[in-house]
Amino acid sequence: MAGKMLPMVDDAPEQPQAGRTRRDFLLAGVRTGSVVAAGGLLTILAKAPAAAGTVWQIDPDKCTQCGLCATNCVLQPSAVKCVHTYAMCGYCKLCFGLLKDRRTGNTLSVENSRCPTDAIKRVFVEDPYYEMHIEENLCIGCGICVKGCTRFGNGSMYLQIRHDRCVNCNECGIARACPAGAISRVSVKTPYKLKARRA
Amino acid sequence: MSRISRRALLAATAVAGLAGCREHPPRVAVTDADEADPPIDPALVKYRSAGVIETGMAAPSAITVAANDAILVAGDAEVRSYEPDGKQQGSIAVAPRPTCLAVGPDGAVYVAAADRVRVYGSGGALRSEWPSLGDRAELTGISVGRDDVLLADAGGRRILRCDHAGRELATLCGKGGGYPGLLLPSAYLSVRHFEGGFCVNNPGLHRIERHAADGKLTASFGAEGLEVDRFCGCCNPTDFALLPGGSVVTVEKGLVRIKEYSREGRLLCVVATPSEYVDGTAGVALAVDGRGRVLALDPKKKVVCIYERKA
């Protein structure tokens, strides 16, 4: 049986107070007006459209792979994904985006793998070269692979906000949380900040 | 709807929502222990800093030492020379973005940039400009001997032997005959003349190799690993230099360690530890002078660090 809703304490009708002066009444009015005005302003701000013609994006040169992209996006899994510029990749079998610094051999076992969701697949190309494929539906944007690739490799793996997933919040949760200030609005005409092979 | 059924519905929704969040439940992949740099025994560090030269360049890229122990640093569009104590002597203008340099027996300065070599007189006049080695060429190392010039072409994954006029005499270190070739995940390849032959680094195989003059591999040492006597990461060492006694000084990227090995490949000591370099430092270039000092050009801080053996 559904319980009957009881009025909240704050909803109880205000009782007339003895000794209330005209000044008290006016001050209460000003306070109430301020609260209403502030509420109205917040409502307007909340309903304002996203900055026209812009979307959020990560600057890979500023990103520190802190891991907050995985947890602070309103979407779960995050709209942030690892992307891979193949022209920069060394095609190593011993890929540090894939494998931990400390390993037991170089096999692709769970204890040797960096990725927490097994989203990176090593595909043989020709001896001795291998290509790393990112399975985007598994990637949670934690940046652990990016950290390894940036430190020891060529930095060909990096994080980007995927606009087929991002809902372009007015106030981006990961931009607010980013300790490096790496996330900013960019023109929708150039929605990605892709790395390129060194000139 | 009853209280129980509403709770059940909420619980089911929550479970369904969580299950839909991720196709794979994430696990703890990398712990602090996995990423901790291996400690280096302080007793292994047998060099100390003997000074720092501020290059003042926007992009210093290469270093070498002339016969009189003058230190030459290439970068931007010039080569600056310094006295052994670090005082600047002068500079010459060269083609932009030099990648490596060496000094010939006659004092000529050989500077490579991208796909070609230019030779300058000690006064700075351009003596000759060699023809392009092709679009794929990316010269990252040069060694000038009495009879020939060796070029390390990282783009072509080869060593080229040329005469002093720039004519190609041979292409060396190609894959074949049981030799796997030069594996270069990133463009770090150096070459040095050594006892009638030459030495190269083969970073994809984590080793230093010694080759006969005809290119045949005669010896090598090195193995992959974080341990101090090994070479870390996917491709290291990135550069090396040969001390007067024949021992080898190497430098790595990722974990910037400068180390000295015997000519047989046994770790002798550590020259500099990663704590002396900022995160993200890569491409430290090495040279040694006649006094056995190790000179490391740090492209991140844009300085030359001079190390000398502790007394």
Q: What are the pLDDT digits (tens) for B42-69?
A: 999 999 999 999 999 999 999 999 988 9
CB-nearest to B186 from A119, A150, A154 is A154
Q: Answer whether B235 sits within 8 Å of A92, measured CB to CB.
A: yes
Q: Rounded to whole angstroms, how far apart are CA atoms A51 and B217?
A: 62
Sort residue B144 into left (φ over 0), alpha (ψ -120 to 50) or beta. Answer: beta
**CA geometry: angle at A84 spanning A96 and A170, to 5°?**
115
Chain B environment of A136 (Cβ under 8 Å): none
Locate B304 and state its tokens. 């030359």
Read off the pLDDT band of A9 (50, 70, 90): very low
- Type and span of the H or E element at A123: strand A120-126
Q: Answer whether A117 sits within 8 Å of B23, measured CB to CB.
A: yes
Q: Searching chain A, which residue's CA lies closest to the CA of residue B280? A: A151
Chain B environment of A110 (Cβ under 8 Å): 27
Domain contains A29: no
Contact status of A67 with chain B (Cβ, < 8 Å): no
Q: Rounded to whole angstroms, how far apart are CA atoms B103 and B122?
A: 9
Q: What percentage of chain A exceeds 70 in pLDDT?
A: 73
Q: Which residue has the higher pLDDT, A154 or B36?
A: A154
| Segment B6-18 mean pLDDT | 42
| Segment B151-175 mean pLDDT | 96
User: How many angstroms away from the CA of A11 is the closest CA of chain B?
Assistant: 25
Contact status of A91 with chain B (Cβ, < 8 Å): yes
Q: Which position has the token pair 């910037």?
A: B256
**pLDDT of A112:** 86
Taking a C-beta distance cutoff of 8 angstroms, is the pair B270, B285 a contact? Answer: no
Q: Which of B34, B234, B238, B252 to mutate to test the interface with A (most CBs of A within 10 A)?
A: B234
Read off the pLDDT band of A110 (50, 70, 90): confident
Q: Searching chain A, which residue's CA lies closest to the CA of residue B29? A: A116
Q: Answer whether B234 sits within 8 Å of A95, measured CB to CB.
A: yes
Domain boundaries, chain B: 40-309
Q: In a 3-state reduction of DSSP, which class is residue A194? A: coil
**pLDDT of A111:** 80
Chain B environment of A134 (Cβ under 8 Å): none
For the segment B187-213, what is each residue's pLDDT rounded down to a tens digit? 999 999 999 999 999 999 999 999 999
Chain A environment of B1 (Cβ under 8 Å): 2
Q: Answer whether A137 sits within 8 Å of B29, measured CB to CB.
A: no
For the segment B62-114, what is each residue's pLDDT rounded down to a tens digit? 999 998 899 999 999 999 999 999 999 999 999 999 999 999 999 999 999 99
Q: Which domain holds residue A135?
A: 54-187
CATH number of B40-309: 2.120.10.30
Q: Which of B7, B30, B205 to mutate to test the interface with A (most CBs of A within 10 A)?
A: B30
CA A139 distance to own-chain centroid: 13
Peptide bond into A77 cis (omega under 30): yes
The number of distinct structural domains making up chain A is 1
**pLDDT of A24:** 67
Contact status of A56 with chain B (Cβ, < 8 Å): no
Do you know the residue count of chain B?
311
